[in-house]
A and B are shown apart, each in its own frame.
Chain A
Amino acid sequence: MKIKKGYRKERLDRGIKARVDDVFAISSYREIMYLAMPRTLFIIFLLLLPLSGSITGPYWQGVIIITCIIALLTLSWTFMYSVGLISLGHAVFFGIGAYIAGWLSSSLNLSPLITIPLAALSGAVLGALLLYPVLRLRGIYFALITFALPLFMMRLIEATGCLGGTAGLSGLHAFPSRLFASYLVIFVLLFVLFGYLKIMDSDFGLVLRAIRDSDLSVHAAGINVPLFKAQALFIGALPATFAGAFLTHYYRFVGMTAFALEYSIFPITSAVIGGTGLFPGAVLGAFILTPLSESLRAFGTLRIAIYSLLLVLFIVRLPEGLFSFIQKKYFQFERWVPLERKDDNAK
């Protein structure tokens, strides 16, 4: 029964989405493609990127590596965000990883293939230990402490002159080739992305997500929250420390810039643009923002202005993030339906 001439917007799952939600119903190539194609396309795209060197030239090959590094940092930031630990100073993990790798390489003369895993693991342990005493803090208080840490580390190195002081450590071991470096960082990126998705799907991830929603309730369930937060901090810091160690060997140099503000800011902006709290969104955001900021270099100092303007536009017009927008379009469709009184709902 129509009661008013008018329509309302209805948002429904696509038929194919509703079918493939039920695992037993996957029966055709079309349905398998619907589920697997987006991630397969992304993986193929990433694996082909370093091979495009002859077209894009060495400069853009460097940009690909930086993009992957920022994507790793963003994934790391997003992981901590999904446990409720908002970090404003991700550079601290990046810098710790970078300096450990630099020190191992310069004083013990080890090859990158040994220093990078060592630096990533020990850096993540160190980062987790450094923040363990303040894990009971929440929200803005935790964020402020993480904000202070990179500044503290930077000035510590400057004042004491240890680890090369203001000059930094240079002449470190290099990777065998640029192609090797590209594939190393791309494989790690894929591993971290799908690994994080897997962790968040597990029971362990369930506890972590619950801590973000309400850590008091998790306490009430008899779970040791600081312990879980410390574990999350370790897992979350791993990609960041790896990124630091990797970039140290890529540039064959480590200096105080490893604690620079941009390594704290880029992950946050990428996460916001891609969709805060979503791992694929984090990668998407980094893959849009980093090449964008590189290509804006032609504008000189105006680059920061354009970059900031775009950021404001994104936050105002698309606060849910680019990835969730695309996801919604992929899974659901909208249509106008005539307004009807639902009689079956009434008694």
Chain B
Amino acid sequence: MLEIKNMLVFYENAIAVNDLSFTVNEGDIIGIFGSNGAGKTTLMNTISGITLHVKQRMQREGGQHISIYGEQIFQGEDISNKMPHYRVKKGIVLSRERHPVFRDLTVEDNLILGGFLIKDKQIIKESLALIYEIFPALTRLKKRKAGFCSGGEQEMISIGMALAANPKLLLMDEPLLGLSPTAQDQVVQALSAIQKLGLTILLTEQYARPIMPYITYGYIIENGSLIMSGTREELMQNEEVLSAYFGVNK
């Protein structure tokens, strides 16, 4: 479905993503694990086209600050030079890190805004109903301002906004960041519900334990380079992975 070939991203002279290649097949839940500064967010932003947008904006302000290389192929089409809005229309939607929401809009308005590109009102209504089904906690918050919601609720809104855009490939950047174990549970359980809808999910996380039971394939990156990949079982057998991403000391 999505194929990344030899992706390289430089910020000025610092390398953020170093020769990364991987594929995402339809229906997968793929986890990308890495510590701070491993390049997870850059990778997600690049796949969703945000890095390209920032690059062009900085170019306008004087000089080339960001360099992106490599091929990104989505459903057989090279999208390497496509802007974020095009990618969203094609079905790549990102739920960004640190759950940004529109603080002064109500929860429902936030979700409707997420599906702005869809012109058919009926489809939006259906997807909203679906989102409330996946996240029942949001139902009674409909009329509340998003800024007054807790971190876990904001994360649900953020994922809901991405879902409202009717994605084929859902990118989630650290969906569990800063959430309580209970809130993490709710988000993680939503993962399998989303997968049942026929969506493909690509998510990043630092702490792998809560997500591990749900993923079909995992990648471990460090300093922008892929250092290990494997199925759930293969990753669980590796001692280094266990200690770094599961907190198991041996």
Contact = CB atoms under 8 A, between A and B. Distances in A.
B3 interface: no
A334 B63 CA distance: 9
Interface residues of B, number: 21
B61 A320 contact: yes
A323 to B, nearest CB: 12
A328 B61 CA distance: 13
Contacts of A341: 8, 18-19
Contacts of A339: 8, 69
Given A346-B225, A347-B223, A8 B10 contact: yes
A319 B62 CA distance: 8
A347 B18 CA distance: 12
Contact of B15 (A325, A328, A334, A345): A345
Interface residues of A, number: 20
A169 to B, nearest CB: 47
B6 interface: yes
Contacts of B6: 3-4
B61 A346 contact: no
A8 B67 contact: yes
B8 A12 contact: no
A342 B12 contact: no
Interface in A317-338: 318-320, 325, 328, 334
User: What secondary structure prevails in chain A residues at the interface with B?
Assistant: loop
Given A4-B70, A6-B69, A341-B8, A346 B63 contact: no
A9 B68 CA distance: 11
Contact of A3 (B19, B61, B62, B224): B19
A138 interface: no
B227 A347 contact: yes
A9 B10 CA distance: 10
Nearest 3 CB-CB pairs, A to B? Answer: A346-B225, A8-B67, A9-B64
26 contacts: A3-B19, A4-B69, A8-B10, A8-B69, A9-B64, A10-B13, A11-B12, A11-B13, A12-B13, A318-B62, A319-B60, A319-B61, A320-B62, A325-B62, A328-B63, A334-B63, A341-B18, A342-B18, A345-B18, A345-B223, A345-B225, A346-B18, A346-B222, A347-B222, A347-B225, A347-B227
